[in-house]
Amino acid sequence: MKQAKVLTDKELKKVISYIDAFDRYAERNKAIVLLTHYLGLRISECANLLVTDVVNDEGTVNDVIHLSVEQTKGSNSRRVFVSKKAKSVLKHYLQSDLSVIQHTYLFQTQKSKRFNTNALTQLVKRLYDRVGVVGASSHSGRRTFITKLATSGVSVRVIAEAVGHASIATTQRYIDVNDELISNAVELV
């Protein structure tokens, strides 16, 4: 089975520019795409995110999102540490539509219904297709996140913990071995 494409920074910027220019639900859709890239969330985890997972009682974005067993793949809950970039994306999204805070689920359809995983998968795929990013899917953000961490020299064990993999063998399959990764490796000698 072919893996989802790992996006370059240029390709991700192209997708975000398209969303900004042409998308009626720009802030929501940017947040969905960018959370997969900045936090390594699965699209099913995005669909299952509750407002209370992301925002505390004071209305501030949490430093850590605690995903329950029901929200994740497999039978383990997990913690997602929220980067500064992801916090910024979430703040913009929440400020763009103040009614989001009153919802149960963070991301809702135009009819104010909860997104199911399939609908969110199709939405993200459509956004990538519209800008011509061939081979990209809703899983591309997660693969890109994992590959970027590996390229930056982060231990596979740490990456596995960050993305909720029980085995580092699973994490290793996500890493796109590319020229930058090889170049960084040979410079260590």
Three-state secondary-structure class, residue 125: helix
Give the type of residue at 53: D
Same domain, 127 and 171: no
The residue among 111, 132, 153 that closes a domain is 132
pLDDT of residue 1: 58
Residue 1 in domain:
no
Average pLDDT (170-184) is: 87
pLDDT of residue 61: 97
pLDDT of residue 98: 86
Same domain, 64 and 13: yes
138 touches 120 (CB < 8 A): yes
Residue 4 in domain:
no
Same domain, 113 and 74: yes
- Burial degree of 42 (CB within 10 A; 0-12, 13-18, 19+): buried
Q: Rounded to an integer, what distance in angstroms lies between the CA atom of residue 109 and that of residue 156?
A: 36
Average pLDDT (105-117) is: 92
The DSSP element (H or E) to which 78 belongs, if any, is strand 78-81
* Residue numbers of the domain that contains 125: 9-132
- pLDDT tens per residue across span 10-52: 999 999 999 999 999 999 999 999 999 999 999 999 999 999 9
Any idea which residue has 């916090």 for tokens? 87
- Residue 181 pLDDT > 90: no
Residue 137 in domain:
no
- pLDDT tens per residue across span 121-174: 999 999 999 999 999 999 999 999 999 999 898 999 999 999 999 999 999 999
Give the type of residue at 106: L
- Residue 187 pLDDT > 90: no
Give me the CATH number covering residue 90: 1.10.443.10
Residue 110 in domain:
yes
Tokens in use for 144?
A: 């890109």
Residue 166 in domain:
yes
Same domain, 158 and 82: no
Same domain, 31 and 114: yes
Same domain, 117 and 168: no
